Structure formats: structure tokens, C-alpha cells
């Protein structure tokens, strides 16, 4: 049987409307409510993210340069690192019995869960697959906002005679506003792609939760430090 569709409200666009805060600090692949398995996994993700961020900032042609800030990959790396660190903070606060502080970190972790390519995707997919962090299709506006801001930034950067690390008048060749037709088409296609990627992420989360409920969540148990609804 299908669950009755609930009426969409403004709270559905905000993370704290989720009924089970335990989904933010327990793994999808465990039977009991201990925060420790996901805590250790998030420690690895946070350490890897911070290490890669430091490496990126101190190496390469744009390292230790203001130009580092113009690349979308680096925007994503900052957000993914913040997501990984705040996710670890969520688990640590629960492990040390501080659920009041965890609420604020939960909000940050959920809003920062934006995937880009390369290393960033590895961290994001790892967090998505192992945790039970909820994904709502209505939250598609979050990655859309990031994409739209970056497109606007690239246009403004071009208009103010900004250059990339090679002195060229664009950040990426495909976003060369000297050719507005191509740049506009790429921007529009990228925004449409956000819908596709977010839908895939949402579907993956649904599948994850279904498998978790079938194979690991059959036994009911008390989840500490939460006020879950029945």
C-alpha cells in the first residue's frame, strides 16, 4: 500500500521539519541506534576533505592565489568540506550527549550537501550511501541556487575583465562570455542537469532507505537523544 500523500507546506523546504533526527547520526546499515559507526566514518570523510582542501590551497597553479576562488570545483570543495566537518560534528555531539548543539549542526550539514565532480562527488556519495541523511526532491532549489550564483559570478567576472590562471578572459572555455550563445546554452543545460542529478540522488536515497528498512531496521529500538514521532 502507498502512504497517503501529505500536503506540502513551507516547513517541507526546511530541514528541521524532518521527524526523525536520528536519521542524521545513524548509519543506514546498522540495527541499533548507536552514533559511533557513522561517527568513525564521518571522521574519515572529514579528515580526507580537510586534507584535500589544504593540498588544493597550497599546490597547483592557482594555489595560494585569489584565482583559487574563481573555480567551481573549489567552491564545491569548500562546501563538501564544510558538509563533512559539520556531519562529523553532528555525530560527535550525539556521542557526547549534546543534542541541543546537534540541531544547529544538522541544519548546516543538510544545506551544505551539494555534490559536484571528482573528489567532491566521492565524499558526497559516501555520506549519502552510508548515512540515513534524508533527501527531499523539493530541496532541488539548493543546488540550483549554487549553480545560478556561479553562472552569474562567471558573467560578472568576465564583464570586469577577470582572467583565469593562464591569463585568458574566462574561467572555463565552455563559459566564455565572448561567445554568449555557447555560454548561455551551457549555463541553461547545466541548470537543467541539476534537476537530473538531484532526482538521481533523491532516488538513490529512497532506495538506500528501503534496503535499510528491509535488512537492518526490522527490530524496533529506542533512539537516544531524540524526540522521534511514532
Q: What is the pLDDT of residues 5-46, one digit of tens each?
A: 455 555 555 555 555 677 778 888 887 778 888 999 999 999
**34 backbone φψ class: left, alpha, beta (φ>0; ψ -120 to 50):** beta
* Per-residue pLDDT reduced to its tens digit, 124-157: 888 888 888 888 888 888 888 888 999 999 999 9
DSSP annotation string for 90-149: HHHHHHTT-HHHHHHHHHHHHHT----STHHHHHHHHHHHHB-----GGGGHHHHHHHHH
Residues in the chain: 230
Q: By the 8 A CB rule, do 39 and 88 touch?
A: yes
pTM reported for the whole predicted model: 0.73
17 C-beta neighbours (distance < 10 Å), count: 11
**Coarse DSSP helix, strand, coil percentages of the chain, rounded to the nearest 5 percent:** 65, 0, 35
Mean pLDDT score across all residues of the chain: 78
The grid coordinates of residue 191 equal 541548470
Nearest to residue 121, comparing CAs of 143, 99, 138?
Answer: 143
Amino acid at each position: 500500500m502507498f502512504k497517503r500523500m501529505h500536503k506540502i507546506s513551507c516547513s517541507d523546504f526546511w530541514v528541521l521539519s524532518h521527524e526523525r533526527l536520528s536519521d542524521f547520526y545513524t548509519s543506514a546499515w546498522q540495527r541499533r541506534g548507536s552514533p559511533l559507526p557513522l561517527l568513525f566514518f564521518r571522521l574519515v570523510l572529514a579528515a580526507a576533505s580537510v586534507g584535500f582542501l589544504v593540498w588544493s590551497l597550497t599546490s597547483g597553479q592557482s594555489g595560494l592565489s585569489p584565482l583559487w576562488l574563481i573555480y567551481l570545483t573549489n567552491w564545491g570543495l569548500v562546501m563538501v568540506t564544510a558538509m563533512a566537518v559539520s556531519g562529523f560534528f553532528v555525530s560527535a555531539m550525539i556521542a557526547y550527549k549534546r543534542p541541543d548543539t546537534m540541531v544547529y549542526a544538522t541544519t548546516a550539514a543538510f544545506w551544505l550537501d551539494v555534490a559536484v565532480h571528482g573528489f567532491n562527488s566521492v565524499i558526497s556519495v559516501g555520506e549519502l550511501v552510508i548515512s540515513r541523511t534524508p533527501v527531499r526532491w523539493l530541496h532541488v532549489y539548493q543546488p540550483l541556487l549554487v549553480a545560478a550564483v556561479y553562472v552569474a559570478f562567471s558573467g560578472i567576472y568576465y564583464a570586469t575583465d577577470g582572467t583565469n590562471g593562464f591569463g585568458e578572459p574566462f574561467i572555463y572555455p565552455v563559459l566564455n562570455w565572448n561567445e554568449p550563445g555557447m555560454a548561455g546554452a551551457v549555463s541553461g543545460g547545466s541548470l537543467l542537469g541539476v534537476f537530473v542529478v538531484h532526482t538521481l540522488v533523491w532516488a538513490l536515497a529512497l532506495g538506500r532507505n528501503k534496503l535499510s528498512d528491509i535488512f537492518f531496521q526490522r527490530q524496533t529500538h529506542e533512539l537516544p537523544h531524540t524526540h522521534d514521532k511514532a
